[in-house]
Amino acid sequence: MSSIKIAEKAGFCFGVRKAVETVYREAEEARGEVYTYGSIIHNEEVVKDLERKGVRVLDGPEALRALRGGTVIIRSHGIGREIYEICEKKQLRVVDATCPFVAKIHRIVQEENAKGRQVIIVGDPAHPEVMGIRGWGRKDTEVIESAEDFEALGLEKGKSISIVAQTTYNLTKFKKILDKITDLGYDIACFNTICNATQERQTEAGRIASEVDAMIVIGGQSSSNTRKLAEICSAACENTFFVQTADDLDPKVLASFERIGITAGASTPKHIIEEVQTIVRSEF
């Protein structure tokens, strides 16, 4: 008898749910034009649905400066100080849906800089959350993705350094980077800012992947946290499938597997997860 294991932590996390609900509410109330600064979350299906409801995406500071009015919603990833200043100067109505865990990192960066410490962010430098975090730091704030990146900075050993992490960063990798930096003899203050939901999701996904013959990870291709889930699952289960929607899943591929696991990123809507579950169950 074949079996299916479904992760309890799959789907929207608290921060994403709050942000998405905020945009839908604002679109419904329609106080003039409604915009999000960047895609509200990294899920193409949700973004398309919001576009149908009249919500437009601003792709950068210049698009923001070109506005003549309307409501700007700050996405769950957060933004840097400069973007708030532009909104204030333009006298735009701002609805802040920044994830509380991300907002906490913004405060830490400012507090550590005020103590005279240099901030290092462990994460993807091109990710909007990391760009926003960096926007609250001094000019010497750096972003690294590995211990090698840190060494390449060539920082003086006596420098006081504070380290934070992108909320969706791989916890195991983060710990390894910290261990290496500590071994190098630097004076560091570490803040594990990987959110609890991410840690729990990654741990659960890895455990399920180690117990099944095939693992399905559901989420947008541009979603950082979903890509990390796929990476973790692939390390534990060689038959890991990363799909965005049920349409990306070939049921025939699953026929040869006895035990199948399913998880999903923090920006994956519930209905997409349910559609994938239906296809998998139909094969068994």
13 annotated among ligand-binding-site residues: yes
106 labelled binding-site residue: no
| 127 annotated to a ligand binding site | yes
Specify whether the CB–CB gap between 233 and 210 falls below 8 A.
Answer: no
Q: Is 225 annotated as a binding residue?
A: yes
77 is in an annotated binding site: yes
- Cα 7 to Cα 9: distance, rounded to the nearest angstrom: 5
Q: Would you state the structure tokens that stand for residue 86, as one six-digit string?
A: 């532009």
Q: Is there a contact between 189 and 162 (Cβ–Cβ < 8 Å)?
A: yes
Distance between CA atoms of 95 and 123, rounded to whole angstroms? 26
Is 129 annotated in the active site? yes
CA-based angle 84:79:139, to the nearest 5? 90
The neighbour count for residue 274, using CB atoms within 10 Å, is 11
> DSSP state, 170?
-
Catalytic residue among 29, 51, 82, 129: 129
| 198 annotated as a binding-site residue | no
- Is 39 annotated to bind ligand? no
The DSSP letter of residue 247 is G
Give the integer Cα–Cα distance in Å for 100 and 21.
15
224 annotated ligand-binding residue: yes
Of 178, 177, 197, 200, the residue nearest 188 (C-alpha): 178
Instruction: Give me 110's structure tokens.
Output: 């400012």
Q: Which two tokens stand for residue 100?
A: 């509380």
The identity of residue 229, as a single letter, is: L
167 assigned ligand-binding residue: yes
Q: Estimate the share of the chain in helix, then strand, then coil, as percent rounded to the nearest 5.
A: 45, 20, 35
**203, 169 contact by CB (below 8 A):** no
Which residues are annotated binding-site positions for isopentenyl diphosphate? 42, 77, 127, 223-225, 267
- Extract the annotated binding site for [4Fe-4S] cluster: 13, 99, 195
Active centre residues (catalytic) = 129
Task: Please enumerate, by residue number, every residue annotated as part of a binding site.
Answer: 13, 42, 77, 99, 127, 167, 195, 223-225, 267
